[in-house]
Amino acid sequence: MHKNIFIGEICANDEVQKDHFLMKMYLPRTFGAVLPGQFVMVRIAGLTDPFLSRPLSIYSFSLEQNACVLELLYRVVGKGTQILAGLIEGSQLEVLGPLGTGYAMPDTEKNIVFIAGGIGVAPLSLLAEHLCVNSPSCGPNMIFYLGAQSSRQILGLDKLQSLCYAVHVCTDDGSFGKQGLVTDLIRKDIKKYPPGDTIIYACGPKAMLKTLNTILGGKYRCDVSLEERMACGVGACMGCAVAVKEGSGGAAYARVCCDGPVFGLNQIIWD
Amino acid sequence: MHKNIFIGEICANDEVQKDHFLMKMYLPRTFGAVLPGQFVMVRIAGLTDPFLSRPLSIYSFSLEQNACVLELLYRVVGKGTQILAGLIEGSQLEVLGPLGTGYAMPDTEKNIVFIAGGIGVAPLSLLAEHLCVNSPSCGPNMIFYLGAQSSRQILGLDKLQSLCYAVHVCTDDGSFGKQGLVTDLIRKDIKKYPPGDTIIYACGPKAMLKTLNTILGGKYRCDVSLEERMACGVGACMGCAVAVKEGSGGAAYARVCCDGPVFGLNQIIWD
Amino acid sequence: MEKRKIKSVNPLRVGLAGLRLKNPVIAASGTFGYGQEYAQYMDLNRLGGIAVKGLSLKPRSGNPPPRIMETTGGMLNAVGLQNIGVEAFINEKLPFLRQYDVAVIANIYGESVGEYSKVAAKLSAASGVHALEVNVSCPNVRKGGLSFGADPKAAAEVTRRVKGETDLPVIVKLTPNVTDIVQIAQAVEKAGADAVSLINTLTGLAVDIKTRTPRLKNITGGLSGPAIKPVALRMVWQVAKSVGIPVIGMGGILTVEDALEFLIVGACAVQIGTANFINPHAMIDIIDGLEAYLEDNKLKHIDDLVGTFKT
Amino acid sequence: MEKRKIKSVNPLRVGLAGLRLKNPVIAASGTFGYGQEYAQYMDLNRLGGIAVKGLSLKPRSGNPPPRIMETTGGMLNAVGLQNIGVEAFINEKLPFLRQYDVAVIANIYGESVGEYSKVAAKLSAASGVHALEVNVSCPNVRKGGLSFGADPKAAAEVTRRVKGETDLPVIVKLTPNVTDIVQIAQAVEKAGADAVSLINTLTGLAVDIKTRTPRLKNITGGLSGPAIKPVALRMVWQVAKSVGIPVIGMGGILTVEDALEFLIVGACAVQIGTANFINPHAMIDIIDGLEAYLEDNKLKHIDDLVGTFKT
Ligand SMILES: Cc1cc2nc3c(=O)[nH]c(=O)nc-3n(C[C@H](O)[C@H](O)[C@H](O)COP(=O)(O)OP(=O)(O)OC[C@H]3O[C@@H](n4cnc5c(N)ncnc54)[C@H](O)[C@@H]3O)c2cc1C
Ligand SMILES: Cc1cc2nc3c(=O)[nH]c(=O)nc-3n(C[C@H](O)[C@H](O)[C@H](O)COP(=O)(O)OP(=O)(O)OC[C@H]3O[C@@H](n4cnc5c(N)ncnc54)[C@H](O)[C@@H]3O)c2cc1C
Ligand SMILES: Cc1cc2nc3c(=O)[nH]c(=O)nc-3n(C[C@H](O)[C@H](O)[C@H](O)COP(=O)(O)O)c2cc1C
Ligand SMILES: Cc1cc2nc3c(=O)[nH]c(=O)nc-3n(C[C@H](O)[C@H](O)[C@H](O)COP(=O)(O)O)c2cc1C
Ligand code: FES
Ligand code: FES
């Protein structure tokens, strides 16, 4: 059987924080299983404005008797997400996916460290959930660093607290948790996590990942999710390029949509 | 004060016959008064697909304490009307209008004959209502010929029967009223209405108006509403051209949107 | 004293090619009639300028209908330059426009170089016209071949002849249906054009699959609206960096954001065309939006924005 | 007997320039990868053909990101012809494609006439390529000036040289960024092209008004999608009535109705590009739709539709 575009039926779409929405939808069972880190491309059938589908990470996933239930956590930043935010219960979306690669699973690392900036919490939250369910021994090793601009942008905290051993929150303006960037916190804490015994998962703005790369200095096993503008989502258009190191030591452009969105931090070439 | 685009709030939008909808909306009082025959240009704010506004005749109009109440009767024929049909109570539309010229009022004619084909009933219905209210003496002189494809396309009959002395209905397939085209009926009945004592108002497909023109042979006072694709609706784009006779005997292109949509049947040049 | 003087300067004021505009927002020719049509929808005094519907020597009846067709993100038109002729414009329309404090730009068109110069001469003798915009680009009315605007020599020739007939600033309006628009722009600059405006419409076609006939009676028509904006913006950028005369940009501008893109790549002013049809208030919104943008970005004057594109 | 034979003819079968297609629907180059990417979304055997991503002699890494940007009714791309190179294509991708009963059209690109001929020669020696599509039009990668496709002489020269290297049907893919596309089409026809395909993308620009930088790192990009459909359709019509070789039409086709417009104005086949991105099922829907249209209109064969435009 061939994969196809699925029709998702929205059953909830609520503003969970200012400009941040949680959308829950039903999909046919044939949508299949999901790996943490994967995403979907969504669009409103028949609408040519906005023209392209929008990539959104899968925030949660579960199977019911007759349906897959998918949750997307998204921030309203432009026309496409604005229109998504306006959809009411019962509306339908075209959903292509699940797309892309997932995060590599931990080996025997003692410390499983998550670092999320803003909406970057979406794929990491699914990963944390996945690890707790499938490798219950992970839970006590999971430490989550959650950064946001202010208390009004903190997302999914309750869930994370129930999953992880510790959740450290910081905000740019200090309105919740520590004041500062999440990378400031990591810079301070990193010595607690010896490279050989630690796996790090990160998702967030480019600037955050770049700083993280400097902090980690190539010494850690670290998977990050990248974002790039996308047209096809399946590897055909070459639109979503990111510069990566090649085996031979050279550079090449990989496709975020199918070679990623998860990449080893050490693979990426930062300009 | 300058006219503007008004925001209309939809308070009802029901399928009154297969593929035919009646939309009722509230507009600010400043929308002003309406002449029968006038139309509005409507569009959904912010949507660029469909791109242009859609012209729709005003089917009914009334003033309430804080609002104008407008009714539009429309047939779903393409993308624009499809989207209109999907709007729910509480949705908003951008409304430009009232636009165009209205029908000339009857003088002292004994016979006021209306001829509507299909959705052409919309502006004529408002005219009939207007005449009944403002010149109550007209009512007994008003005879309405209503043509439709089948019984499922007959629109606004109840209202017309309450306004007019007689309503003659015919359908292409004979499923309601007489079988045949409304122009067949007129061809038979026209001798009942002497030219000097009759005013005729017609609206319908081009083919109907063309046949009517042949039947009337230039001898009647007859106003017709025309339709043409429109961009601006206000006379600026020259897009809605119709060939008319000029004073000097030559031909020229008039604009349906502002020189019409109501024209004297004798003015029009049929190709 | 000094401070006050600076503050009183209108931050949107633009001087281009001897034409003074109170702001860089001009109604595009063919989309705003003779101004009158939209007068009841806005205060025309708010506008920087109005480019009136293209004028020819004699009145033109234009093309048979259908003349317009909607497309994705735009529309096709084949109006065929219907207009009342230059004399009727001067006698019947200019008096109305003279009541307003707005730059009147007479868009002109001819089937021969001679006709262009005659129309230009007549308009120069009239009072109330502030500039001529020479449409060398209309794709709808052809005289056995490409338009004047597709050939640098023909475009230059028209420019020279019009310049010879008038003291008014001459803006040459370029067609995008060419391999190298910079070459045409440079040719008309050399020939004496005071400014160029671009783009006119892209030539397009639409087919009725039921009847297998063209959607427009004229067969082809000009494509306008946001669909063409990327092409317009590219050409305005290319021309702005290659000529010394001012550039007026247009093509698919709907919002202040669109207008800003054109100004950033080097247009001194913008024209708004098809947007007027779907939102008669578009130009006023754009003017207000420009003012707000300058304030938000702490720019004293619109000139501080024009051509600040960083490539 | 006779009757039966006729009935069994596939009504969508198209023979063009020696290339046999089971239907006239081809995936456009650069929008369908090497076929593999979409294999899990459809049965590739259903397609008439696949034009693979443009191939060059050596692998190309393409342009730095951002490479794409959405526009009204379309998108800009400046991928910069990233591809694995002709050798890797032959070794790694062709074996996969050979599994399918679908015409494989190798889209090729060179920075010099010599490079074009080398790529053509290599592909001709490989098994499983059914035609070459010569991209003389890509606006993203320039070598100090206009593209080959903007100059009739250069376009003819490339055509001649590629023809000299191959026995495969040679389709020359034309750029719309020209004053007179008919002239180019006729030049390549004379030079031996077996067919032409058009249009490639229109060159466009988009600006980020916050940073005042281009939205694409490459500055300009190619505009595709329904926004350009009217321009594409006009050009296909102009070319189809001016050349004797088959024309493959494309540009903004999303639906079967769009495809029909191109066939009616004279395209023997169509390519589907950007539509694949927003609806991976678009080509299948179009093929099914064509079949239904023929039936509804009681046409025995798609050839009875091609070029039936009544003007
Ligand atoms: C693999 C992947 C997963 C993502 N997951 C999520 C998620 O779970 N939740 C969420 O809120 N967002 C996520 N994003 C980002 C999301 O796709 C964009 O915010 C969205 O496409 C913006 O659409 P828009 O029409 O609202 O904004 P636009 O008007 O298109 O753009 C607004 C701004 O967002 C930027 N932008 C647009 N598209 C992208 C993109 N694909 N990647 C990065 N920046 C973009 C634009 O450059 C612009 O600055 C993800 C992106 C990728 C590639
Ligand atoms: C002054 C005026 C008053 C009108 N009043 C009414 C009314 O009261 N009720 C009603 O149902 N319709 C009315 N119409 C027609 C209505 O405007 C069209 O049906 C509508 O615009 C079609 O839009 P669409 O997007 O659904 O169809 P499209 O997809 O745009 O077109 C579908 C079909 O309708 C034709 N069409 C499109 N626009 C027009 C138009 N402006 N005039 C004629 N044919 C058109 C197209 O050529 C095509 O064949 C009126 C038109 C005019 C000019
Ligand atoms: C209906 C219509 C009529 C036009 N008539 C003229 C004209 O007479 N002279 C001219 O130079 N340009 C004319 N144009 C072109 C516009 O002035 C403008 O260059 C073009 O539409 C692109 O801008 P836009 O996308 O903002 O509309 C016309 C455009 C439209 C849509
Ligand atoms: C992302 C992208 C990449 C493309 N790459 C190529 C290419 O490598 N070679 C080529 O000849 N055309 C290329 N094209 C052009 C398309 O094949 C097609 O000519 C154009 O997009 C117009 O068709 P459409 O509107 O259906 O997309 C590309 C188009 C897009 C959108
Ligand atoms: S989005 Fe098309 S290749 Fe990644
Ligand atoms: S619709 Fe523009 S002039 Fe009538």
Within a domain: C309:
no
Atom number of ligand 1 nearest to Cα A240: 53
Q: Which of residues 33-52 of B touch A (CB under 8 A)?
A: 47-49
Q: A131 φ, ψ to 5°?
A: -65, -40
Is C5 part of any domain?
no
Average pLDDT of chain A to the nearest whole number: 92
Q: Whose CA is nearest to atom 20 of ligand 2?
A: B54
Give me ligand 1 centre to Cα A54, in Å. Answer: 7
Domain that holds residue D233: 14-62+79-202+223-304
Does any CB of chain C come closer than 8 Å to the CB of residue D265? yes
Cis before residue D214, ω within 30 degrees of 0? Answer: no
For residue B49, which residues of chain D lie inside 8 Å, CB to CB?
Answer: 73
Is there a contact between D30 and A237 if contact means CB atoms under 8 Å apart? Answer: yes
Q: Does C148 touch chain D (CB under 8 A)?
A: no
CATH of the domain at C107: 3.20.20.70
- Asked whether residue D3 is assigned to any structural domain, the reply reads no
Q: Which long-range contacts (CB under 8 A, 24 or more apart) does C41-45 make?
A: C41/B2, C41/B3, C41/B4, C41/B234, C41/C280, C41/C281, C42/B2, C42/C280, C42/C281, C42/C283, C42/C284, C43/B2, C44/C100, C44/C102, C45/C100, C45/C101, C45/C102
Q: What is the pLDDT of residue A164?
A: 83
B16 touches B22 (CB < 8 A): yes
Does the Cβ of C302 fall within 6 Å of ligand 3? no
Residues of C in contact with A49 (CB under 8 A): 73
Q: What percent of chain C has pLDDT over 70?
A: 95
Instruction: Tell me whether residue D214 is in a domain.
Output: no
How many A from CA of B58 to the centre of ligand 2? Answer: 14
What pLDDT sits at residue D144?
55
Contact A48 B47 (CB under 8 A): no
Residue keyed to tokens 């707790």: A132
pLDDT of residue B247: 77
Determine the Cα–Cα distance for residues D36 and D130; give it in Å rounded to an integer: 17
Q: Which one of C123, C138, C193, C282 is the catalytic residue? A: C138
**pLDDT higher than threshold 50 for residue C141:** no
**For the packed helices C229-240 and C181-190, what is the interaxial angle rounded to 10 degrees?**
50
Pull the structure tokens for residue C45.
């005094």
pLDDT of the residue at D8: 61
Phi, psi of D89 (to 5 degrees): -60, -50
Residue D216, in any domain of the structure: no
**Residue D297: predicted pLDDT:** 94
Nearest CA to ligand 2 atom 6: B56
Radius of gyration of chain B (CA): 18
Residue of D nearest to B47 (CA): D72
Which residue in A100, A230, A248 sits closest to D59, CA to CA? A248
Find out whether D214 and D205 touch, Cβ atoms under 8 Å: yes
Give the per-residue pLDDT at D180. 94
Render pLDDT for A185-239 as a digit per residue (tens, 0 to 9).
999 999 999 998 999 999 999 999 999 999 999 899 999 999 999 999 999 999 9
Q: From the CA of D77, how many Å to the nearest CA of chain B?
A: 22
Q: Which chains touch C (3 or more CB pairs under 8 A)?
A: A, B, D
Q: For the residues B19-47, what does the mean pLDDT come to? A: 92
Residue D213 lies in a domain: no
Q: Based on the structure, what is the number of domains in chain D? A: 1
Ligand 4 and D81: CB distance under 6 A: yes
Distance (Å) of CA B110 to CA B200, C33, C291: 11, 42, 61
Q: What domains does chain A contain, in order, with CATH numbers?
A: 5-99 (2.40.30.10), 111-228 (3.40.50.80)
| Residue-level pLDDT at C231 | 98
Q: Is residue C239 part of a domain?
A: yes
Quick one: pLDDT at residue C289? 97
Answer yes or no: is pLDDT of C142 > 50: no
* Packed helices C113-125 and C152-165: angle between N→C axes, nearest 10 degrees: 30
Per-residue pLDDT of chain D (311 residues; tens, 9 = 90+): 444 445 567 999 999 989 999 999 999 999 999 999 999 889 999 999 999 999 999 999 999 999 999 999 999 999 988 899 999 999 999 999 999 999 999 999 998 889 999 999 999 999 999 999 999 975 434 445 678 999 999 999 999 999 999 999 999 999 999 999 999 999 999 999 999 999 999 999 999 999 999 999 999 999 999 999 999 999 999 999 999 999 999 999 999 999 999 999 999 999 999 999 999 999 999 999 999 999 999 999 999 999 999 99
Contact across the interface for C279 and B2, Cβ inside 8 Å: no
Condensed to tens digits (0 to 9), the pLDDT of residues A108-143 reads 888 999 999 999 999 999 999 999 888 878 778 889
For residue C67, give the ligand 3 atom closest to its CA: 1
Mean pLDDT of C38-57: 94
Give bridge partners of residue C77 from the DSSP assignment.
C68, C222
- Nearest chain C residue to B43, by CA: C278
Contact of D16 with D237, CB cutoff 8 Å: no
In eight-state DSSP terms, residue A171 is E
Q: Each residue of C178-218: pLDDT tens digit?
A: 999 999 999 999 999 999 999 999 999 999 999 999 999 99
Structure tokens belonging to residue D4: 């039966």
At residue D222, the pLDDT reads 96
A48 Cβ under 8 Å from any chain C Cβ = yes
Regarding an ipTM greater than 0.90, the answer is: yes
Residues of A in contact with C73 (CB under 8 A): 48-49
Written as six digits, the tokens of C286 are 């754009």
- The structure's pTM equals 0.95
Q: Name the nearest CA neighbour of C13 among C307, C308, C304.
A: C304
Q: Convert the pLDDT of each residue in B153-169 to its tens digit.
A: 889 888 888 888 889 99
CB C252 within 8 A of CB C228: yes
Is C310 a domain residue? Answer: no
| D175 close to ligand 4 (CB < 6 Angstrom) | no
